[in-house]
């Protein structure tokens, strides 16, 4: 009996890469691969890369350097680079690191079986095209194996916004929405495998406009309402959104669709209109704040998350104080903040950069404010009863860990049979990044 080949995938970056890695594993399953958590046991290692963070490409090359020993000990080991760094670097990866056997961009991973076969024959395999065919059509149905209670589901890819700091339009391509019928089918299959909560993914997920089964144009709100009709699908979330695509019906869905959870990640990036214009965000701080007011009017208990960049080229002390003012006004439940770092090929990279010590000082001040807001949001949960979807055992015996309606981690002493189910939990204590509760 032929032994199955083993596949190890290391995933960097966002939830879309997590979803992509799952689909890559499924695609290579047809070529006889089974997953392994041990790279030293693998017959193929794939690095599914992200180009958002600073020095992303250099980190990939460093990781490849660490794999040289494995390759030396197993000449049959195949090593591949996938994702956004693969798309951006292409042939340069093969030139700089001869140990790499294949390079595949995020729009071409449905071709992995063909690329793997080419690599097995001894040739170098490269595919960073933006193919005309729909990769999701080519990937086919997902396996029937039981899954955990939560899952990601990509509904939209690419970006047409061209923010001055961002590489996504160049690595993921133009905005494309999947047909709604295929999304519904995939969601039903996930629910059949034990999934109770689905997070819809897209680079600009609320820009979703796909063809519905009725031939009409479906926006994200229509898609969410139809997904909510699937029996057994108890929770829906979506990420990441752009303020300019927050349509009226989507705001309304937050108030009248109980399956849509009261959590929203809505990046703003800066509180300064001057910097927002330089970033090509095409909205003002006031427009963002008015949008937040409308969303909270529809769902008063919603927890808001966002992204903020400090030290963008040209940012003055006054611009930074505008950001601090916006944060105080919004009152985020959680927020991600970063120092600006240039991405080659983006417009902002061509401008003079602020000193690192200025960026660091501003980031420290911003994060102190954001941490205080998050701690306040956590403490405000104490005494409340919330629904918790239990996902796995905790570190302590008899403990389970799950997520609240607001996406907060909750630790509870509870029986193991509650894994995969939603139960009411009374929150009794709060820490900066998690909550403690007891079954209500």
CA angle 122, 123, 125 (to 5 degrees): 130
Residue 159 annotated as lining a ligand binding site:
yes
**How far is it, in rounded angstroms, from Cα 4 to Cα 1?**
9
Residue 257 annotated as lining a ligand binding site:
no
Residue keyed to tokens 């701690």:
375
Provide the token pair at 90.
Answer: 């292409």
Measured torsion, CA atoms of residues 438, 392, 409, 145, in degrees rounded to the nearest 10:
-130
Closest CA to 109 of 239, 7, 5: 7
**How far is it, in rounded angstroms, from Cα 201 to Cα 208?**
10
**How far is it, in rounded angstroms, from Cα 14 to Cα 52?**
9
Q: Which residues contact 1 (CB under 8 A, 6 or more apart)?
A: none
Sign of CA dihedral 172, 176, 180, 181: negative
**How far is it, in rounded angstroms, from Cα 169 to Cα 206?**
16
Burial of 250 (0-12, 13-18, 19+ CB in 10 A): buried
**How far is it, in rounded angstroms, from Cα 279 to Cα 269?**
9
| SS3 category, 83 | strand
Residue keyed to tokens 């209109």:
273
Beta strands 435-439 and 399-404: pairing type? unpaired
Burial of 416 (0-12, 13-18, 19+ CB in 10 A): exposed
Helix H or strand E segment including 217 = strand 217-219
Residue 335 annotated as lining a ligand binding site:
no
Residue 163 annotated as lining a ligand binding site:
yes
**In DSSP terms, which residues pair with 390 in a beta bridge?**
402
Find the distance separating the first CA and the last CA of the chain, reported in whole Å.
52
State the DSSP code for 269. Answer: B
Closest CA to 124 of 60, 81, 173: 81
Residue keyed to tokens 């205080």:
372
Known binding-site residues equal 14, 50, 84, 159, 163, 166
Known binding-site residues for [4Fe-4S] cluster equal 14, 50, 84, 159, 163, 166
């Amino acid at each position: 009996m032929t032994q199955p080949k083993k596949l190890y995938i290391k995933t960097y970056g966002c939830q879309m890469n997590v979803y992509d890695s799952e689909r890559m594993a499924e695609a290579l399953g047809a070529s006889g691969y089974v997953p392994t958590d041990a790279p030293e046991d693998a017959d193929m290692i794939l690095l599914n890369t992200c180009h958002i963070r600073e020095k992303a490409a250099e980190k990939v090359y460093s990781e490849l350097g660490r794999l040289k020993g494995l390759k030396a000990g197993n000449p049959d080991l195949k090593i591949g680079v996938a994702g956004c760094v693969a798309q951006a670097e292409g042939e340069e990866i093969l030139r700089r690191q001869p140990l790499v056997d294949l390079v595949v961009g995020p729009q071409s991973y449905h071709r992995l079986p063909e690329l793997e076969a080419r690599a097995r024959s001894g040739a170098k395999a490269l595919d960073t095209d933006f193919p005309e065919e729909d990769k999701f059509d080519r990937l086919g149905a997902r396996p029937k194996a039981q899954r955990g209670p939560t899952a990601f589901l990509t509904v939209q890819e690419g970006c047409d916004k061209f923010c001055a700091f961002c590489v996504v339009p160049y690595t993921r391509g133009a905005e494309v929405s999947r047909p709604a019928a295929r999304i519904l089918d995939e969601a039903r299959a996930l629910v059949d495998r034990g999934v109770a909560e689905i997070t819809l993914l897209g680079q600009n997920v609320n820009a979703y406009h796909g063809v519905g089964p009725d031939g009409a144009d479906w926006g994200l709100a229509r898609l969410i309402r139809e997904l909510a009709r699937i029996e057994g699908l108890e929770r829906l979330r979506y990420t990441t959104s752009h303020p300019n695509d927050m349509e009226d019906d989507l705001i309304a869905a937050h108030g009248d669709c109980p399956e849509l959870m009261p959590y929203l990640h809505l990046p703003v990036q800066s509180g300064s209109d001057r910097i927002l214009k330089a970033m090509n965000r095409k909205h003002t701080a006031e427009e963002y704040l008015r949008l937040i007011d409308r969303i909270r009017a529809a769902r008063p208990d919603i927890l808001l998350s966002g992204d903020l960049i400090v030290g963008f080229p040209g940012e003055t002390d006054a611009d930074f104080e505008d950001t601090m003012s916006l944060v105080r006004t919004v009152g985020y439940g959680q927020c991600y903040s970063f120092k600006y770092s240039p991405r080659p090929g983006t417009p902002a990279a061509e401008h003079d950069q602020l000193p690192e010590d200025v960026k660091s000082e501003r980031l420290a001040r911003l994060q102190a404010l954001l941490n205080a807001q998050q701690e306040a949001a956590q403490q405000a949960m104490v005494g409340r009863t919330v629904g918790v979807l239990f996902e796995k055992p905790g570190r302590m015996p008899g403990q389970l860990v799950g997520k609240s309606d607001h996406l907060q981690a909750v630790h509870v002493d509870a029986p193991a049979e509650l894994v995969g189910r939603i139960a009411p939990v009374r929150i009794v204590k709060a820490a900066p990044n998690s909550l403690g509760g007891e079954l209500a």
